[in-house]
Amino acid sequence: WKIAHHHSSMMPEAQLETAADPSTAEILEDKQIKSLFYLWNDALATLDPDKVAARYSKEPCLLPTVSDVPRTDYDSIRSYFVDFLKKEPQGTILESYTSAGPNWCMDDGIYSFTMGATGDVVKARYSFVYTKDETDGTWKIAHHHSSQMPEEIVPKAMLEEAAVLA
């Protein structure tokens, strides 16, 4: 067996808690955190890569599903979405787990995308870390990771065999 996918990242709490100005610090509730996904999803619906890229922070990191190139600035994120938006994606959250601190929040789980151009449905794992932009008070995506579900990478026969052996 070889590892087909592994994701590891540092948690944002320590950096962000010390950076938050107590007079403007905001801690979002679960429902508010989940609504941030729909701002991004609504931007996808415009099919405008600039509107999607504008949802990301000034120092973002996008680790996309269908590219092995990390995107860490506006232009590279925009470039990724120029191609991705041709598929006319619309996302739906299937499972969501949220956490939050002063001026940051995280939403991770499983989502699916229906590609309007083809009708294909793609299921993936996701994580979003949002931070509050101190200049205008909006919430932006600081980190976004999306990866294909392992069941879609590993042949189902291998999964069934592993389940029998377990």
What does the pLDDT look like over 55-94, one tens digit per residue?
Answer: 999 999 999 988 899 999 999 999 999 999 999 999 999 9
Residue 39 predicted with pLDDT over 70: yes
Q: Which two tokens stand for residue 7?
A: 């994701």
Percent of the chain residues past pLDDT 90, beyond the cut: 70
For 44, which DSSP code?
A: H
Q: In the structure, what pLDDT confidence band is assigned to residue 151 with cuts at 50, 70 and 90? A: confident
Dist. CA 103–CA 72, nearest whole Å: 21
pLDDT at 21: 66
Q: In the structure, what pLDDT confidence band is assigned to residue 18 with cuts at 50, 70 and 90? A: very low
CB 90 within 8 A of CB 45: yes
Q: In the structure, what pLDDT confidence band is assigned to residue 6 with cuts at 50, 70 and 90? A: low
Q: Which of 44, 46, 54, 45 is nearest to 75 (CA)?
A: 54
Name the residue with higher pLDDT: 90 or 10: 90
Residue at token pair 């509107």: 51
Q: In the structure, what pLDDT confidence band is assigned to residue 158 with cuts at 50, 70 and 90? A: low
Average predicted confidence (pLDDT) for the chain:
87
Q: In the structure, what pLDDT confidence band is assigned to residue 12 with cuts at 50, 70 and 90? A: low
- β-pairing verdict for 121-132 and 104-115: antiparallel
Dist. CA 65–CA 93, nearest whole Å: 16
Q: Which of 71, 66, 42, 68 is nearest to 55 (CA)?
A: 42
98 Cβ contact partners less than 8 Å away, ≥ 6 residues apart: 30, 33, 34, 105, 106, 107
Distances (CA, A) of 85 to 9, 47, 48, 91, 141: 27, 6, 8, 12, 18
pTM of the model: 0.81
